[in-house]
Structure 1
Amino acid sequence: MKILQLPSGSDISLLTKALRSLGAEATSCSFSSADPYSYLADVRLRLNEYPAEQRKILLQTYFKKAAATYDVFHYHFGKTFFSDASDLKILKESGKKLIVHHRGSEVRKLSVARKNNPYVKVKTKWTEEKIAKQLKRLSTYVDYAIVCDHELKPYIEPYYKKIYVVPRVIDRNKYISAYPQPVGNPVVVHAPTHNEIKGTAHVLAAVERLKKEGWTFQFKLIEGLPHRKALEEYRNATIVIDQLCIGAYANLSMEAMALGKPVICYIRDDLQSKYPGNLPIVNANPDTIYERLKWLLGRPEQWRRLGIRGRRYVRNYHNQDKVAKQLMAIYEKI
């Protein structure tokens, strides 16, 4: 079975390597060098570096080669070779196995999210009309989809015949534990990719209030750094604050836990039981971030304990080898 993972993100490369370790012939392909993880991919098309007409030719050429080579096409973020999804039609008619991996904003409908989450924010460029149009286009040819957690599942249930929940992955060998010490001046880190969606204003307000009350700690807002440099900041942190509005955790929480850091993040009440094991995240939303951060700052004896539990959790449930086995089972079924 020959598998192609595309077209962006760190997971396409990590999953490809894990699939190969299981004996599969897998390849990762990045379309754009603007993707910060493009350098990790096996095939790097760098389409953004070419004029529009040449870009079109390059993509068509690679598609023809891929269609003749691979048996399984695993699309991430709902992105396909061509905007009209004509590649899906061709591949389906050729008997190829197709699956779409949805990861967040490209499916998160505000009207659905608000039913269980009064704090939720969405990216304005992803209107409900745009989301519905894309999902309809994809599901016309693709019967199977993957989501990273149960928060995302309701958004796509009306469209696909079968939906699989497969955890995000992390390279457990890449992250060396750096458990915080219960002494000295603690460092609190918040690293938003989108300030409104992550609830950054609420984090800043809580930090300012605590400092005015006399709490001593260093706060770092990490923005615009290359991923490698951002990881160093997380490594030197005492506490990492992820998002406060979405209601589920994602990559920042995973990376922080893998490094052995206590994490603050908002997990919706109705989703907590959906996560395996005992999720060691300090739960906070915009209304409670002040109290929860204050609680954690005042309990240095908990920092290392939470860090150890978080690292163990990530290694158990976001292990790339375990996830690759799940994917192989899915590929066999579809």
Structure 2
Amino acid sequence: MRVFHGIIEIAGQMGILCGALKRKGHIAVGYNTFQSYLDYKEHLINTDAFEIRKMLKQIVNFFDIFHFHYGATIMPNFEDLEIIKNKKKKIIMHHWGNEIRFHDLAMLNNPYVYTGDSPPNNDIHQKLLSITKYIDEAIVQDYEVLPHVANYYKKVHIMPIAIDIRKFKPHYPSRETKKPLILHAPTNPDFKGTAYIEKAIEELRHTHLFDYKRIEKMSNAHVVEMYKEADIIVDQVCCGSYGLLSVESMALGKPVIVYIREDLKDSFPSGLPVVNGNPDNIKQAIKDLIESPERRHELGVKGREFAKKYHSSNVVVERLLNIYSKLS
């Protein structure tokens, strides 16, 4: 099987999935036109929109399955989709969140959500109508994203974020640490709720002993190295679901604070080992972990097992292959 992934790399997922597909004996290539300081490279061809469009004919003829990401395809206005469809190739779209997060819908069950980076509702609507003229099925990572696309596609699959667990050796927090290190790594401070987190941090400095680091604009590889030193990691406290930072942190054996919406709790595998923190209770959530080294260690051990069981790319790729096998 020859699988095309493109054209926007989000959270390293194209490369990770391509790597897992290769280990299963398939040809898989990620073409990425969105380069950033995160510096994702593995299993990717980092190119630009102009170059990849010049290769459209060869790409369409070579690959069997087209797995697009983030609501983008090779050509502007989705002109390539009709060509791919006419060649009887399989196509699926993988949505990640901000590109299809309708503002009013996102706020229905979440008073904290930030949607300032999402397009206007009508732009999202028109884009989804254009895509679904040719693509019947989509993938999303969880039930927070699902409602935004469920009424457009014939079928939407839930598939968790994937990581290459082999690259994450656990560094569990020591039970003996008296001055824990708290890390927060916002790729988008408004979306992550950084202002709420840092307000809580500043207030806690008056009563508790700890260090705090905010990590920004570094490559993913460099950031992961820094996670290893942390005793507590704070992810996103506004979205209502957990993202790549939470998964990588759990894989490293770190306790994670992240906001999980009440109505979504049962949609995740039971025993999700995170501390639920939102803008209203983030100070208490951080305080509790500062005061409990035993709890930090316990959550780290449970998080590592959770990441192995549900987010290892070797596990996720089996779900992906099952999805591919049923595409028409």
Instruction: Indicate the TM-score class for this superposition, using the shorter chain for normalisation.
Output: over 0.9
What is the deviation of 1:83? Answer: 1.9
Aligned to 1:41: 43
User: Residues 100 and 118 of structure 2 are in contact (CA less than 8 Å); yes or no, is this contact kept in structure 1?
Assistant: no
Aligned to 1:234: 227
What is the deviation of 1:145? Answer: 0.2
What is the deviation of 1:13? Answer: 1.4
Distance between the aligned counterparts of 1:125 and 1:275, measured in 2? 25
Distance between the aligned counterparts of 1:162 and 1:23, measured in 2? 27
Write out per-residue CA displacement over residues 206-238 of structure 1, whole angstroms, 9 at most, x where no aligned residue: 1111112x2010011111122222112211111
Aligned to 1:184: 178
Query: 1:104 and 1:136, CA in 2 relative to 1: closer, same or farther beyond 3 A?
Result: same
Aligned to 1:16: 18
Write out per-residue CA displacement over residues 284-313 of structure 1, whole angstroms, 9 at most, x where no aligned residue: 100000111111111111111100000110
* 1:26 counterpart = 2:28: yes
Aligned to 1:52: none
Distance between the aligned counterparts of 1:12 and 1:306, measured in 2? 29
What is the deviation of 1:15? Answer: 0.8
SS in 2 for 1:92: helix
What is the deviation of 1:42? Answer: 4.0
Aligned to 1:74: 67
Write out per-residue CA displacement over residues 145-180 of structure 1, whole angstroms, 9 at most, x where no aligned residue: 000011100000111010000011001011111111
Write out per-residue CA displacement over residues 41-92 of structure 1, whole angstroms, 9 at most, x where no aligned residue: 34332x2xxxxxxx63x33331111101011000011111012100011111
Aligned to 2:2: 2
TM-score by length of 1: 0.93
Distance between the aligned counterparts of 2:118 and 2:155, measured in 1? 27
User: Residues 186 and 238 of structure 1 are in contact (CA less than 8 Å); yes or no, is this contact kept in structure 2?
Assistant: yes
* 1:333 counterpart = 2:321: no
TM-score by length of 2: 0.95
Distance between the aligned counterparts of 2:263 and 2:61, measured in 1? 45
Aligned to 2:296: 303
Query: 1:5 and 1:37, CA in 2 relative to 1: closer, same or farther beyond 3 A?
Result: farther
- 1:277-316 matches, within 5 Å, as 277-316=270-309
* 1:209 counterpart = 2:203: yes
Listed as ranges, the gaps of 5+ residues in structure 2 are none
User: Residues 13 and 28 of structure 1 are in contact (CA less than 8 Å); yes or no, is this contact kept in structure 2?
Assistant: yes
Query: 1:42 and 1:294, CA in 2 relative to 1: closer, same or farther beyond 3 A?
Result: closer
What is the deviation of 1:38? Answer: 4.3
Write out per-residue CA displacement over residues 212-271 of structure 1, whole angstroms, 9 at most, x where no aligned residue: 2x2010011111122222112211111000001000000000111111100000000111
User: Residues 248 and 267 of structure 1 are in contact (CA less than 8 Å); yes or no, is this contact kept in structure 2?
Assistant: yes
| Consecutive aligned runs of 4 or more in structure 1 exceeding 4 Å deviation | none
Distance between the aligned counterparts of 1:44 and 1:301, measured in 2? 44
User: Residues 182 and 212 of structure 2 are in contact (CA less than 8 Å); yes or no, is this contact kept in structure 1?
Assistant: yes
Match of 1:144 among 124, 134, 137: 137
Return 221-230 or 239-248, whichever deviates more.
Answer: 221-230
Identity of aligned residues (%): 36
SS in 1 for 2:260: coil
Distance between the aligned counterparts of 1:174 and 1:266, measured in 2? 26
Read off the aligned partner of 1:30 and give its amino acid letter. N
User: Residues 74 and 100 of structure 1 are in contact (CA less than 8 Å); yes or no, is this contact kept in structure 2?
Assistant: yes
Question: CA RMSD for the aligned pairs?
Answer: 1.4
User: Residues 92 and 137 of structure 2 are in contact (CA less than 8 Å); yes or no, is this contact kept in structure 1?
Assistant: yes
User: Residues 32 and 38 of structure 1 are in contact (CA less than 8 Å); yes or no, is this contact kept in structure 2?
Assistant: no
User: Residues 237 and 278 of structure 2 are in contact (CA less than 8 Å); yes or no, is this contact kept in structure 1?
Assistant: yes
Return 91-100 or 25-34, whichever deviates more.
Answer: 25-34
Distance between the aligned counterparts of 1:147 and 1:327, measured in 2? 12
Listed as ranges, the gaps of 5+ residues in structure 1 are 48-54
Number of residue-to-residue matches in the alignment = 324
What is the deviation of 1:96? Answer: 0.9
